[in-house]
A = this chain, B = another copy of it.
Amino acid sequence: QDSNAPAFGKGLFNLVGKDSTFSMKIGFRMQILGIANWEEGNNNDLVDPETRFMIRRSRLKFEGFAYSPKLRYKVELGLSNRDISGASEFTSNAPRYILDAVAKWNFYENFDLWVGQTKLPGNLERVVSSANLQMVDRSLLNSRFNLDRDIGIQLRHQIDVSDNFVIREKFAISQGEGRNITSANLGGYQYTSRLELLPFGTFKGDYQGGDLQREPSPKLMIGATYDFNQDAVKNRSNQGSYMTIDDESGFYSTNISTFFLDAMFKYNGFSFMGEYAHRDAKDPLAKNSDGTLTGDKVQVGSGLNLQTGYLFKKNWEVSGRYTNITLDQDITGKAPENQYTLGLSKYIAGHKLKVQSDISYLSLDAGKDELMFRLQMDIHF
């Protein structure tokens, strides 16, 4: 039988509609993950290994243009239990099957208007697709501070300063409670602005883990995001838990702002990604209408993530990561955490077929230290 599909890793289908009236690339992927976790025992030894195996992520992805090349779209659906979890009364008690469903209209020159649900222009690490991670999964900084996906509009623009120097600007107004919400907006809207500088020009790996392109010259992206969630009702801006008050009859709301500074550097197989995050709130302590504390607290504080790797011959990569999370202990009651991760990846067919492993040591200023080993296989059509 002759080939009737793209090469492995390039999608299952690359549809081109009659008279070039639309295009659609359909992709599918899955990650099979195993985890072992040890906790520090009473004698400082590691005990009680806890294990788990799961289909960590599995996705269907549809993207291309519709009717006109100026109208692009992306739809991504989650299939695994972890992908679609998070049903609540705010999502019609239904699983959160749709990850992305967004239309992108190039309405004028370098300007694009996005409408729908997709990732906000938040921290770099979050916007790197889970298909293209350098380690088995994202860092603790991301899980504590990321802005994830939301529904609304985004305005995106690019300035070509010189032959090489590129500036990208991204603005978003969104509902501010995360993805797949079907009920009415609580509190106010969320406003996100991001600026990206690419002083040595654009590069394929700007939002990709590792330097699989082995860039022949140094490449850099520096980005900064400022996010303002007006009257936010969840304890991590548009993420985390709803802060209910008065016996769950209402919601506490306060302004929450999140700031990210991040950078991606690639050169000759070497890669570095760094992120700093800071969250603040007007009044982080949730209160009932009578002024008593509910116990909920906005998770204010800072995080730092530094990650680097080198791609050896035959596409073996060794990577290292240091993550520090320092929430405001007076408010949140949480002591600082430091995590040290060593990763080993074999990219059999780039990010499309790879086996990744990492080992992490989590040091808690209060509480028991933990050691975690993970092994994951990715197949992306």
Contacts and interface: CB of A to CB of B under 8 A. Distances in A.
A24 interface: yes
Contacts of A94: 81-82, 84-87, 95
A24 B12 contact: yes
A96 interface: yes
B67 A348 contact: yes
A172 to B, nearest CB: 12
Interface string A26-66: 00101010000100000000000011111100100010001
Contact of A117 (B14, B55, B92): B55
Range of interface residues on A (Cβ < 8 Å):
35 or more
Interface string A355-381: 000000000000000000000010101
A349 interface: yes
Contact of A52 (B21, B116, B182): B182
A4 B15 contact: yes
Given A17-B8, A93-B85, A115-B377, A98 B3 contact: no
Interface stretch (A71-79, A126-134, A251-259, A295-303): A71-79
A30 B101 contact: yes
A96 B82 CA distance: 10
Nearest to A35: B184
Interface string A93-107: 111111001010000
Chain copies in the assembled complex: 3
A16 interface: yes
A185 B288 CA distance: 39
B77 A98 contact: no
Contacts of A79: 77, 97-98
A97 B73 contact: no
A369 to B, nearest CB: 18
A313 interface: no
Contacts of A16: 1-5
A6 interface: yes
Contact of A381 (B3, B7, B66, B175): B66
14 contacts: A3-B19, A7-B21, A8-B67, A10-B18, A12-B24, A28-B62, A30-B75, A32-B103, A32-B115, A52-B182, A54-B182, A66-B353, A85-B94, A103-B379
Interface of A: 1-10, 12-22, 24, 28, 30, 32, 37, 50-55, 58, 62, 66-67, 71, 73, 75, 77, 79-82, 84-87, 91-98, 101, 103, 115-117, 151-152, 175, 180-185, 348-349, 352-353, 377, 379, 381
Which 3 pairs of residues, A with B, have the shortest CB-CB distance?
Answer: A85-B92, A8-B21, A7-B18
